[in-house]
């Protein structure tokens, strides 16, 4: 605990610590560079010293004087004398120009003496080179003139030597001092650099940890999972992947708040680590939201796999206690085995995901499912239909048929229900419910719903143009369409075809109305205000209660066919339907019985005062071209029965 507190405190103050360390490092580096330059500058000053050049000049003066003496005794030595003169002459430019001249300039009178001596030497040139013979008097004169300068040059050489020696000693002390400072700076650089390197490595390790771990639960995340799956696949040892989705977590978030939801996720993580990872050697990861994944190593058969999935299910049988709150949540587990179901990480994830949705389908509360290749075929069919559905909507390969809804009193047509049809090139007729599910799953529901509304309005306009005054037509809306401005969409479509309001009704299922009541309660009243009648479809099969039914401002109640089918022979079904009809009437609703297929059921429903009927007894769904004739025939039939 103390270590964790220190770690948190260090993380909070690391930016404050980092600034002075970086400053120390860079200041030390700059000062070290400056001192190194100073040392090099001092060494450069010592390079090419003038001491040696001055002593060489003195030596050459003496050699020239000796050459003059030799020539005085042996006039044949003129050439040797001229050579010594040339060498002597060449010594002066070195001392009067460049680095040596700069150094000698610091010695008092040195430059003046050198210039005077050089001028004197140059005055000898005409005697030595222009005349065929140098007289003894000229030789003696040169020696006498040059001797004071030679003595002065010797003296200057000694002065220059002492001056340079003092400078050398001073520079040596300075270099030694700079070396000591440089050593201290190098130590500072080493320490601050080491700290910086440690912090960089630590930060890199922390960033890598954060990139591969979830910040809320500290479990490995999706990135880590993919790397781990790839690593396990490379080892070629059989293992299992379990994908876990929490059922009911959204309700906890919505009712108790996101803070409680976060604590719940942490509690779930703790249970999985304590009871799954530690006992079975598994690796639990969080994929995001309420989804987790578990890698179970060394899984050689379904028995090994079932031990872990049963243990996971048992973890969720006990309630979770979060402060003063407690809650139950379910879990859906989808499992896939490597290499039985897939030989690479991506496919294994996909197939475990397919199995997880199968588990949800089999048991909405808690359950598990092992991947089967039949599931894969179903997913491929769904993906293929999804791709083709987009094209079908654009290219109008879908179409609508219309089923009459008649009065049970006189069998006159009251209105029609528009029903969606799709004849797929490969799979043949696709059930409407499957079309809606695919559209909902892949985000096409709103587009499809708007297309149905527009096609229905277009058909009503065509009927009107052919002198058939259409009755209202009801359309089914998908669950997600309640988030749209339905009233605006319907009335705008009617207006675009020159039709009055009230010709388009909508039908919603119980589950959809529950979602509307939960999320957007103003939708249904707005539809009523715009003259759009609403029917509650498939009543009795959803999740609504009588109290919810009381809240719903709908005009029509449609009893599901599963209740109607058995009423002629099953007394319980018969009484139940009779009571539903009574409740609907008490709430001011018209009641429609769906799926009427025989006359006995129709007569019994009529005796219960059911208002309307729909089913094959009256008519199958019809192509729009057949609707006018059907309505005329039905009207004529009713007139004849009255007569």
523 pLDDT higher than 80:
no
Do 407 and 364 fall within a single domain?
A: no
pLDDT at 210 (0 to 100): 78
- Is there a contact between 607 and 577 (Cβ–Cβ < 8 Å)? no
Q: Taking CA 347 as the corner, what is the angle to CA 300 and CA 425, rounded to the nearest 5 degrees?
A: 125
Tens digits of residue pLDDT in 168-183: 677 677 767 767 777 7
What is the C-alpha R_g of the chain?
Answer: 52
Residue 381 lies in a domain: no
Q: How far apart are CA 156 and CA 175, in angstroms?
A: 28
**Where are any strands of DSSP class E within 209-281?**
239-247
Same domain, 196 and 268: no
How much is the pLDDT for 18? 62
Domain-ending residue, one of 212, 244, 267:
212
Q: For residue 542, is it within any domain? A: yes
Question: How far is Cα 419 from Cα 459, in angstroms, rounded to an integer?
Answer: 13
Give the end of a domain, one of 180, 212, 244: 212
What is the residue-averaged pLDDT of the chain? 83
- The structural domain count of the chain equals 3
Domain that holds residue 68: 1-212
Residue 24 has pLDDT above 70, yes or no: no
- What is the structure's pLDDT at 291? 93
Q: Which residue pairs, CB below 8 angstroms and at least 24 apart, start in 107-111?
A: 107/156, 107/159, 107/160, 107/163, 109/156, 110/156, 110/159, 110/160
CATH of the domain at 521: 3.20.20.450
* 479 neighbors 511 (Cβ within 8 angstroms): yes
**Residue 294, SS3 per DSSP:** strand
Residue 39 confidence class, pLDDT cut points 50, 70, 90: low
Distance CA(512)–CA(548), nearest Å, equals: 12
Q: pLDDT tens, 50-80?
A: 778 888 888 888 888 888 888 878 777 788 8
Distances (CA, A) of 368 to 200, 330, 360, 471: 45, 11, 8, 49
Q: What is the mean pLDDT of residues 96-109?
A: 78
Same domain? 204 vs 238: no
CA distance 401 to 417: 8
**By three-state DSSP, how is residue 519 classified?**
helix
According to DSSP, the residues that pair with 40 across neighbouring strands are none
Same domain, residue pair 176 and 101:
yes
pLDDT tens per residue, range 444-477:
888 999 999 999 999 999 999 998 888 899 999 8
Question: Which runs of consecutive H residues, i.e. helices, occur in 47-77?
Answer: 50-73
Q: Is the dihedral of CA 577, 580, 584, 585 positive or negative?
A: positive
Per-residue burial over 275-295, b = 16 or more CB atoms within 10 Å of its CB, e = otherwise: ebbeebebbbbbbeebbbbbb
Q: Does position 578 have pLDDT exceeding 50, yes or no?
A: yes
What is the pLDDT averaged over residues 270-276?
92
Do residues 499 and 352 both lie within one domain?
no
**Is 70 exceeded by the pLDDT of residue 14?**
no
d(CA 284, CA 113): 94
So what's the pLDDT on residue 270?
Answer: 93
Mean pLDDT throughout 120-142? 80
Q: Is the model more confident about 405 or about 637?
A: 405
Condensed to tens digits (0 to 9), the pLDDT of residues 524-566 reads 777 878 888 888 887 876 555 566 667 677 889 999 998 898 8
The pLDDT tens digits of the residues spanning 299-310 come to 888 888 999 999
CA–CA distance, 333 with 292 (Å, rounded to integer)? 9
Q: Looking at residues 16-25, what average pLDDT do you find?
A: 66
Does 428 reside within a domain? no
Q: What is the mean pLDDT of residues 582-604?
A: 92
The answer as to whether 452 is a domain residue is yes
pLDDT for res 57: 82
pLDDT over 80 at 147, yes or no: yes
**In the structure encoding, which two tokens stand for residue 1, read together?**
């605990």
Instruction: Answer whether residue 577 is part of any domain.
Output: yes
Let me know if residue 217 belongs to a domain: no
Residues 234 and 362 in one domain: yes
């Amino acid at each position: 605990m103390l270590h964790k507190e220190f770690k948190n405190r260090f993380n909070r103050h690391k930016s404050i610590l980092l600034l002075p360390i970086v400053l120390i490092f860079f200041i030390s580096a700059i000062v070290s560079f400056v001192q190194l330059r100073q040392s090099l500058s001092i060494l450069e000053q010592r390079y090419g010293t003038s001491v040696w050049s001055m002593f060489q000049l003195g030596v050459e003066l003496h050699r020239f004087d000796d050459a003059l003496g030799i020539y005085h005794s042996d006039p044949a030595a003129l050439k040797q004398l001229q050579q010594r003169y040339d060498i002597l002459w060449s010594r002066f430019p070195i001392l009067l120009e460049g680095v040596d001249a700069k150094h000698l300039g610091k010695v008092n009178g040195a430059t003046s003496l050198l210039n005077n001596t050089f001028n004197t030497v140059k005055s000898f040139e005409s005697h030595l080179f222009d005349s065929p013979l140098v007289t003894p008097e000229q030789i003696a004169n040169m020696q006498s003139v040059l001797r004071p300068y030679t003595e002065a040059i010797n003296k200057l050489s000694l002065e220059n030597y002492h001056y340079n020696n003092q400078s050398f000693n001073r520079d040596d002390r300075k270099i030694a001092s700079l070396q000591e400072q440089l050593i201290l700076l190098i130590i500072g650089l080493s320490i601050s650099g080491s700290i910086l390197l440690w912090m960089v490595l630590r930060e890199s390790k922390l960033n890598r940890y954060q990139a591969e771990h979830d910040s809320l639960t500290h479990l490995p995340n999706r990135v880590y999972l993919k790397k781990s799956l790839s690593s396990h696949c490379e080892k070629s040892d059989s293992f299992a992947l379990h994908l876990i989705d929490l059922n009911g977590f959204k309700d906890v978030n919505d009712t108790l708040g996101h803070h409680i939801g976060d604590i719940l996720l942490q509690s779930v993580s703790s249970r999985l680590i304590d009871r799954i990872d530690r006992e079975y050697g598994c690796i639990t990861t969080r994929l995001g939201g309420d989804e987790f994944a578990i890698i179970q190593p060394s899984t050689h058969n379904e028995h090994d796999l079932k031990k872990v999935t049963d243990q996971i299910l048992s973890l969720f049988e006990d309630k979770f206690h979060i402060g003063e709150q407690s809650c139950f949540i379910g879990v859906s587990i989808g499992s896939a085995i490597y290499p039985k179901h897939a030989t690479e990480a991506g496919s294994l994830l996909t197939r475990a995901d397919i199995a997880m949705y199968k588990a949800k389908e089999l048991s909405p509360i808690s359950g598990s499912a092992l991947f089967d290749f039949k599931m894969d075929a179903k997913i491929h069919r769904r993906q293929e239909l999804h791709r083709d559905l987009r094209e079908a909507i654009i290219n109008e390969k879908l179409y609508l048929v219309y089923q009459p809804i008649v009065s049970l009193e006189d069998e006159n047509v009251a209105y029609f229900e528009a029903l969606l049809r799709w004849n797929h090139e490969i799979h043949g007729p696709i059930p409407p419910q499957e079309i809606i599910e695919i559209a909902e799953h892949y985000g096409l529901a709103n587009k499809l719903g708007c297309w149905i509304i527009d096609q229905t309005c277009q058909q009503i306009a065509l009927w009107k143009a052919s002198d058939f005054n259409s009755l209202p037509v009801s359309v089914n809306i998908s669950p997600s369409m309640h988030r749209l401005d339905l009233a605006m969409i319907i009335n705008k479509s009617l207006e675009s075809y020159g039709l009055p309001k009230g010709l388009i009704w909508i039908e919603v299922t119980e589950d959809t109305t529950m979602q509307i009541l939960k999320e957007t309660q103003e939708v249904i009243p707005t539809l009523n205000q715009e003259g759009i009648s609403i029917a509650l479809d498939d009543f009795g099969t959803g999740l609504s209660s009588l109290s919810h039914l009381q809240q719903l401002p709908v005009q029509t109640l449609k009893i599901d066919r599963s209740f109607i089918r058995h009423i002629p022979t099953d007394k319980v079904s018969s009484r139940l339907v009779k009571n539903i009809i009574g409740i609907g009437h008490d709430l001011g609703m018209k009641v429609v019985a769906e799926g009427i297929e025989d006359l006995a059921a129709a007569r019994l429903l009529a005796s219960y005062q059911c208002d309307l009927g729909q089913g094959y007894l009256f008519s199958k769904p019809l192509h729009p071209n057949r609707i006018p004739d059907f309505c005329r025939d039905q009207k004529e039939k009713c007139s004849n029965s009255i007569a």
